[in-house]
A and B are shown apart, each in its own frame.
Chain A
Amino acid sequence: MKKVISVLLIGLLSACASQTTQPTAEDKSATQAAPAAVADPNLNPILRDPNNILSKRSVYYDYDSFVVKNEYRPLVQAHAQYLRDNAGARVLLQGNADERGSREYNLALGQKRADSVKNALTLSGAKDSQIEAVSLGEEKPRATGHDEASWAENRRTDIRYQGE
């Protein structure tokens, strides 16, 4: 019983740490900042455990590319496995694009990226009905600079579980 409680606590703490963006390297600085957690208490804490690959939620892309690179295969497969094992789980895939060019065209580019992760998840056994792939285009940049490093950070798909 004690074990269960401590796991739950860790889950809650890490939920506090990353209420808006998904856990990535840059979120480390946010571990002390702990505003009210918005995570659904029913959310499986394993999804927030920094030692579990399921806490990794971002897939990055090369310029003008929608291909899920091999280095993200383990991440995608882990989420597919989780969705297979938890039929009630639902994910929102949010594709993103860098700021160059038309906003609506970039929205469609972000959609291609979200769709690429959706395809990879369904190929690995997740159900279509568990997944919604959407795009935020260039509208929600994680990096706000106007240079190649920022653009690379923003060519991304984020995986968000329902309740997050």
Chain B
Amino acid sequence: MLMRFRQSSHHTFALALLLWLISMPLQAALDIEIFGGGATQIPIAIAPFAGEEKLKQGITAVVAADLQRSGLFRLVDSSGPVLRDPRQIVYPDWKNRGAAALVIGSTVILPDGRVEVSFYLMDVAKQVQLADYTMIVPADRLRAAAHQIADIIYERLTGDVGVFSTRIAYIVKQGNKYALQVADADGFNAQSIIEYSEPIISPAWSPDGTQIAYVSFENKKPVVYVQTLATRARKAVANFKGSNSAPAWSPDGKKLAVVLSLQGGSQIFLVNADGSGLQRLSQSSGIDTEPNFSPDGQSIIFTSDRGGSPQIYRMPVTGNASGTAERLTFEGSYNVSPHHSRDGKSFVFIHRSGTRFNVAVQDLATRQVQLLTDSRFDESPSPAPNDKMILYATEVKGRGILAVVSSDGKTRQELSMQVGDVREPAWGPLPRVR
């Protein structure tokens, strides 16, 4: 089972990773500890990577923060002598600290400036190696390497796909400037895609991660644009008379659901991704907005006030959609901003109870609702591509920030970001080559 890869090309790396994943049984190989409330967290020790103090960017802290944020891991004290080789491990020591899994690793700066990063993932109880991996990365890609390591550990120990190498999009307001930014899933490496002196809202990733749709108010009213990340080229895909907003991609990336006031009210329409082929989808006399496609592309969940208060409904995308919308939420008088889980079995949304706006999740089959947060003003929940975490906007001392909550609501963490008012997060898809 021991495999070792050495290559520098990202593409080869990913392919090799895929092969490696296929060759391993995808199941948890550890005894896991049960914590209060039935949540299971894997106690893991991540020993400081040897030699990382010579690097501008360390590995250990990034890997540890990623795993902890997922809510599925508990970090165990990992102080002690530097470990480079599994033969140096004194297992009873780690067992006494309560670690079920142990990561040791090392970094070496190569003559050409690139960095060789190696690590081993060990099962402490069985004293066997679960993974062994080496990669060579440019010095400015060390955070990306750390996220890939966290993904490998996560996948090996949970059997689920890791999302630490994905990206997120969000809006930052700083003074009178608005920026659409893209960052790593932990909030680092932020880059502005566009900056305006007028508001931007509702960024939505295309399923392949190459484009972002959003709403800009630069022309005195809301207009929906699609922007290609690599070229920065953009196109207005919904710029009709009245308001244009709430873009949502179909899973095949060919169409967008948008909300237009073109024919009165705010109603859901379908438009091709190039702006052609407009087609009305919802038919009500009130507000129908915030459409979101089911992963199979067959139906759309959305917010409507047709029943007197904003609630979440579902309608088919094809055929006679009009009369057949089905109401999904019944608890409370304000349920908005629905987003399907990627497995299609549930949806996250914002539920108001009293004066609080919180992230909630509802199972589509059982209709059971669970509140995941208890802060005051939560908005825009966006599930991770593996459904295990939900990114959302919240407020701390009047300032908008982004936070992540685990899908069981047990672990919550704010993302560290630069100054400014941060809002409207959207979690991007998994990288294409996997």
Contact = CB atoms under 8 A, between A and B. Distances in A.
Interface of A: 92, 94, 100-105, 107-109, 111-112, 115, 132-137, 139-140, 146, 160
Contacts of B158: none
24 contacts: A102-B290, A102-B379, A103-B380, A103-B423, A104-B202, A104-B259, A104-B290, A105-B290, A105-B310, A107-B222, A107-B243, A109-B287, A111-B243, A111-B261, A111-B266, A111-B287, A112-B266, A115-B261, A134-B222, A134-B243, A135-B221, A139-B199, A146-B398, A160-B220
A136 B199 CA distance: 9
B73 interface: no
B241 interface: yes
Contacts of A135: 221-222, 243, 261
A105 B336 contact: yes
Nearest to B398: A146
B303 A94 contact: no
A104 B398 CA distance: 20
Contacts of B266: 107-108, 111-112
A146 B400 CA distance: 13
Interface residues of B, number: 35
B398 A103 contact: no
Most buried by A among B287, B377, B380: B287
A112 B287 contact: yes
B328 to A, nearest CB: 16
Contacts of A136: 199, 217, 221-222
A158 to B, nearest CB: 10
Contact of B289 (A100, A105, A134, A146): A105
A108, A140, A146 pick with most chain B CB within 10 angstroms: A108
A136 B243 CA distance: 9
A139 B424 CA distance: 12
A94 B220 contact: yes
A133 B357 contact: no
A115 to B, nearest CB: 7
A105 B243 contact: no
B149 interface: no
Interface string B411-434: 000000000000110000000000
Contact of B261 (A100, A133, A139, A146): A133
Interface string B285-297: 0010110000000
Contacts of B289: 104-105, 107-108
Contacts of A112: 265-266, 287
